[in-house]
Amino acid sequence: MMKMLSRSQFRWIAALMALMVVLVACTDDAPSDLRGCKEASEGSEEEIYVMGRGCAQGVVLKDFAHGEEGETQGENGAAEDHGEDTNAEDHSEAAPAGEGAEEEHSEGEGSAEGAEAEGEAEATETPDDAGAHTGYQLTSAQAPQVASAPQQAAGDVVDVLAEIRAASIVGELIVAQGLDAALREAEAVTIFAPINSVFTRLDEDVLADLTTDSDILNQILTYHVVPGVVLAADLSDGQTLETLQGETLTVTQEGNFFLINGARIIQPDRLASNGAVHLINDVLLPSVAVELIPEPNPADQGPPVVDVPTGEVDPAMVQGLFNPNGHAFPTSVTLAGSFQDELGCANDWAPECEATFMEYNAGNDIWSATLEVPAGEWEYKAALNATWDVSYGANANAAGGSSNVTLSLDEDERVTFFYDHKTGWVTDNVNSVVATLPGTFNSEIGCPPFAHTGDWEPSCLRMWLQDSDGDGIYTFMTPRIPAGDYLVKVAINRDWGENYGVDGARGGADIPFNVPADRTLMVFAFNPRNGLLTIAAGGTVELTPEEEEAMAVRGAAGNIALQQAHWVAAPTIAWQVDVEEGYTYRLFWAAEATLELTEEGLVGGESVELTPVPEGISVEAAAKFPHLADLPAFALPADALPQVPDILKGQLAVAAFDADGMLINATGLQIPGVLDDLFTYGGALGTTWDGEVPTVAVWAPTAQNVQFHLFADETGEASAVLPMELDPATGVWSITGEPGWKYQYYLFEVTVFVPSTGAVEVNLVTDPYSYSLAMGSTRSQLVDLRDSALAPEGWDTLVKPQNFEAFEDIVIYEMHVRDFSIFDERVPEELRGKYLAFALEGSAGIAHLRALQAVGLTHLHLLPAFDVASVLEDPAARAEPDSAALASFPADSDEQRALINEVRDLDAQNWGYDPFHFTAPEGSYATDPSGITRILEFRQMVMALNQLGLNVVMDVVYNHTNQAGQGERSVFDRIVPGYYHRLNETGGVHTSTCCPNTASEHNMFRKFMVDSLLTWTTEYKIDGYRFDLMGHHMVEDMLAVQEALQALTIADDGVDGRRVYLYGEGWNFGEVENNARGTNATQLNLAGTGIGTFSDRLRDAVRGGSPVRDSASEQGFITLAGIVPNAAVTDEAAEAERMLLFMDQIRVGLAGNLATYTFENREGERVAGANIPYGGNQRPLVITWTHKNTSTTSKSTITKRSSIGWCSRCPPKSRWKRRSGRIGWGRAFVLLSQGRALHPCRAGHPALQVL
């Protein structure tokens, strides 16, 4: 007797197998790698390949058991269809859904193309304008095909099974039962191995009855083994296979798949030296095992059984389904967990970190986030309102101490996380099936019309099936479907690529159901293991008004916790909302943040009516905010304009009402545009001095009040709390102090409405214009940078090195302040890693710099040395690695890394790309991190380097901050919330740089950037600036910086600003890509400005590979591409062609990457540099740089070379001496090309000796 495992049988066998794993793993004589194997195996599925028609064309399922499907391209380059239904009907407008048409929705790709981070998806029509649910159709029946040619694996079947993480449990059971020796010795065997996810449901009640009979387990395991090598190509419908256990297996064909006793082969042909392994999605039961297990409940063999209440449904139950813990709708949701540090947060388990904030999508009424999560074992929760006051963990549990959600990734993966506040369920698309219910009722429960009417929308998450109790059955309940007849299907991954219809058939017919009466609680339950959907009608629902509001279709009337409208200028608001005849629109505000969104409308504040502006926003506003240029515009009444400054100090919202006065939409506002319009200020901010009397000013136009906290020292209580005075015309608050205030500390107390919390907050915050700080950056310090006590002797008469006539002569060497001396034993211990190490004679570092300067080095580029957020400044709290211990290990040892890892979070090593205060030197590099020492010693460092003959370049990072919102290291956003950062369409902060992106296109952040750079140039005599991710600034910003610096003169400012060199990373990506937020400072856009950009063209051609793709083994010119291929090369002819193209790119690079430079290319043709492709693009290779200080115009760019792991690209037998020679060869291209040479290496690196 042969049977497929039923639901209850599955639980029994899974319990047995899981227990056997644990028992074996915990015995003293068990192999060490088996310990904890049950825990390690869960959630660690490999890629599973579908055996069938789709697989032959490149279809890959990621974790098939969880329903994640992807696709690759077919031979013609177009995405192949994955349909299974050859008879799907084409439903045109003549037979719309829900009007009697017998619709059938086959699998295909005709709908949403996938979930974006915001949870929305664009719909793509199928051929002939068929409905999105129809999908593509096969033109003829096709037999199953093998995915790809099997590849021989090293090792026998036991070894191969051990390497397959997706089937690790079966492999461990075989070893535990002692079957591995026989399988290794077998001449030829084939194993049908169930994947791990089959064993994830345990029934502890049966464990005691099944743990004593090892023979049963042996029979189950050997029932999965067939003598001989049986490949997928050998299978046929109706075939029988005799097993080692003695009984037979039956092969059947179902559509495009082969099944073994009903278990589908989901990855065929994992070959071994003595056989093959096929992965299957179920356990196979021999008759002896079936006889010993009680007959299953018939209901377990069909659709899932769900308890459905009848009669009048208890309102408490319904309330329990919709926001079960009764918590108010959040203003933010954070994925707080063990992976936050890897995703750009300062710490793990940090609910305030905006880098892992989820975004709310009103159309779906769901919070979501898509993040690049590295491989590893992770845990997380959903934390509400940026605190731990309310958080949800596994199984939608908000109770204190509830379990975390676990996430296991074998490799780096793009993971989408979801949180539903109605149910409290937080999950991700790795742990859970993402299943929805597209059908003819979707619009009734609030699905917006993504592409059609709101019906048949698989991407809508308002009918999201959820498994909040973790039993493997996904349910959705709603009383909102009106009485009537409807059709439905189950869609996986929010599109039609995988869907289930009648009888659980994949791509099957639509499932009909009836709602007997309005307010009937309809229950949908889906079993992803067999595709079956149960639909049941419960009793009727009667709710109190409060419960009615809790169950309301949130989002249909908007959400004022989001900021989806834009106040672009004092008289104008832009908002993506329907503009209809008879509709009215109003602006609402409330100083005390009392606005509340109800079904009746917005209550709790004041309002004025807005008038639609048919021509849209002004030309000026569109130029400033090109991403808003096409939005509908609305005008404030003229008599309301004088109130705008006061209106801006409170909570804001706009609302739309239909002709009957019913609220149809509402949202909050983003306000940078109106703040720039009304409050752009050109005067001094921060601390200025009139003799010994300081004046402190801060720009805070939305603040309701600002007070000044004065401290005598960096740790004591405030000696005074004083009011600051507002200039209503500029939004600047200021206070004039007394002579005795010098060197004391201060903080601002800012009372301001914060959109992210929905409340008026009182923030105690440092000054963004801080010039000096307390240790740990806890307080700003009142200092006068012109004070002679803060300058080394000779500072005012310092003569800058005159080692270049034009910027073409510059040679730049990159260095980290700490790393320059931290392990140099010739430097006194107290000065190692400090600014003052640069002012010492006799150290290894200074000797090296002197040698480099003697052979042509002109500029030393220091990695970020402003105040950074992630370095502990208190030396007592830090721990440095033991340099002697590091030196004691062999050069190829792993021990150095282990030793450094022990103090990774405690030492002072950090590249510094996490700015805290942009215009104060970093305290950890000073001998005393408290107060003014950092200023004096930074200047001593600059002076010493200048006297050594080297100009100093500073690496600046104005493109992002360490934190935004209410985070403790957030400065700007706690003073003027929502202004200084670049916001997305819902008011969240963009983080494409890694961290909260700043918005230099906003006037007052541009002013801050210019002011900060002027301070570094005049007060610290910096000679050049390297801009991190410069492409995230606008060209207008960079030109403003350039103009301000070039206006500096030695007579008036002590420096010649015309000799200050500006360059940076002109990469084009993120929300600013292709000028989306204005003309951004990229390679192409900066041509002719005199501002340099890095060139990736010459770098990639000379070295090989690229940092923006996985290309560590790609060879280049100096790594002998096309000449001595390494092991990664599979097509030597194509590699030779690549080498010829590299040679053309190098020729252009040597000529300064001039678009107009002409030469004879690899084809023997005369061509211009602009016509040499890079990355598949026929466009100018690099941005030209125009030198404006001489009588001639010279165009060039910066050529960047990066240190790399040469072994990965070099031929296999190259020795280090030859490889190091190639490093020198590569640097020769940099030094001899027509551009500025930058060497981003560290002191003491062997490669430096070639200069």
Compute the distance between CA of residue 540 and CA of residue 149 in angstroms, rounded to an integer: 57
User: Cα dihedral angle (482, 484, 490, 493), rounded to 10 degrees?
Assistant: -40
Compute the distance between CA of residue 1185 and CA of residue 1083 in angstroms, rounded to an integer: 10
Could you tell me how many residues make up the chain?
Answer: 1251
Other residues' Cβ atoms within 10 Å of the Cβ of residue 190:
22
- Contact between 982 and 960 under an 8 Å Cβ cutoff? The reply is no
Residues 6 or more apart whose CB falls under 8 angstroms from that of 835 comprise: 817, 921, 925, 926, 934, 937, 938, 940, 941
- Contact between 1217 and 1251 under an 8 Å Cβ cutoff? The reply is no
Q: Is 14 exposed, middle or buried (0-12, 13-18, 19+ CB in 10 A)?
A: buried
- Contact between 13 and 283 under an 8 Å Cβ cutoff? The reply is yes
558: alpha, beta or left, given left = phi > 0 and alpha = psi -120 to 50? left
Which of 63-66's residues contact partners 24+ apart within 8 Å by CB, and which partners? Answer: 63/197, 63/430, 64/195, 64/266, 64/281, 65/195, 65/197, 65/198, 65/281, 65/528, 66/197, 66/429, 66/430, 66/431, 66/432, 66/433, 66/528
Other residues' Cβ atoms within 10 Å of the Cβ of residue 723:
12
For residue 536, give the 3-state DSSP assignment: strand
Catalytic residues: 1028, 1065
The residue type of 1182 is: V
Residue 94 phi, psi (nearest 5):
-70, -25
- Contact between 746 and 708 under an 8 Å Cβ cutoff? The reply is yes
Q: If you ran DSSP here, which 8-state letter would residue 50 be given?
A: P
What distances in angstroms separate CA 956 from CA 773, 1024, 1183, one per listed residue?
19, 10, 21
- Contact between 261 and 4 under an 8 Å Cβ cutoff? The reply is yes
Residues 6 or more apart whose CB falls under 8 angstroms from that of 1106 comprise: 1096, 1100, 1114
Compute the distance between CA of residue 277 and CA of residue 76 in angstroms, rounded to an integer: 32
Compute the distance between CA of residue 576 and CA of residue 631 in angstroms, rounded to an integer: 5
User: Cα dihedral angle (683, 684, 690, 695), rounded to 10 degrees?
Assistant: 110
- Contact between 184 and 156 under an 8 Å Cβ cutoff? The reply is yes
- SS3 for 128-170 is HHCCCCCCCCCCCCCCCCCCCCCCCCCCCHHHHHHHCHHHHHH
For residue 1057, give the 3-state DSSP assignment: helix
Residue that is written with structure tokens 């209106």 in the block = 647
- Contact between 382 and 392 under an 8 Å Cβ cutoff? The reply is yes
Residues 6 or more apart whose CB falls under 8 angstroms from that of 695 comprise: 687, 688, 689, 734, 735, 736, 737
- Give the CA angle between residues 441, 447, 451 to the nearest 5°: 100
**Token code pair at residue 1243:** 């002191």
Compute the distance between CA of residue 178 and CA of residue 496 in angstroms, rounded to an integer: 45
Compute the distance between CA of residue 952 and CA of residue 1020 in angstroms, rounded to an integer: 10
The closest of 754, 708, 760, 758 to 973, measured between CA atoms, is 754
